[in-house]
Amino acid sequence: MDKIRTELSINTEVIEKMAEIAAKEVEGVIGLSKKAYDLRGAVKSQKAFKGVKIEEVNGAVKIKVYITVDESAHVKEVAEKVQENIKDRVQTMAGTAVTQINVVVADIKFGVANKED
């Protein structure tokens, strides 16, 4: 009996969503920054910046996430936990190798009791 060959393809927008959810799960993260620092890229793509950028390289992904943290957060610890959580989630859920995760602390919020949606 012949084996059926199947191929799985996951849209980068799905991986962006996985990374977004994983980042928001980390204590100290209020949400993702909606600020687009690369205005040329934002104008070219003509889509709203979501706080996560995905780059595919030879079947693996590089992820850049822009987070907003709570004023009481230990920024370095939060950033490291965000990296770990994103890598674990994306590799487990998508089966896609993650070669690099860059976390940019783009904003800090003062006096916020709950995370933003």
Q: Would you give the distance in Å from CA 48 to the centre of its chain? A: 15
Handedness of CA 21, 91, 49, 9 (dihedral sign): negative
* Model pLDDT, residue 44: 53
Query: Both tokens of residue 55?
Result: 């780059």
- What pTM, to 2 d.p., does this model score? 0.77
> pLDDT, tens digit, for every residue of 44-60?
554 566 799 999 888 88
d(CA 108, CA 116): 13
- Assigned superfamily of 12-109: Cation efflux protein, cytoplasmic domain (3.30.70.1350)
Can you give the pLDDT at residue 117? Answer: 47
Q: Check residue 2 and report its DSSP letter.
A: P
> Residue 34: pLDDT above 80?
no
Q: Which pLDDT value is given to residue 40? A: 53
Q: What is the pLDDT of residues 49-102, one digit of tens each?
A: 679 999 988 888 999 999 999 999 999 999 999 999 999 999 999 888 999 999
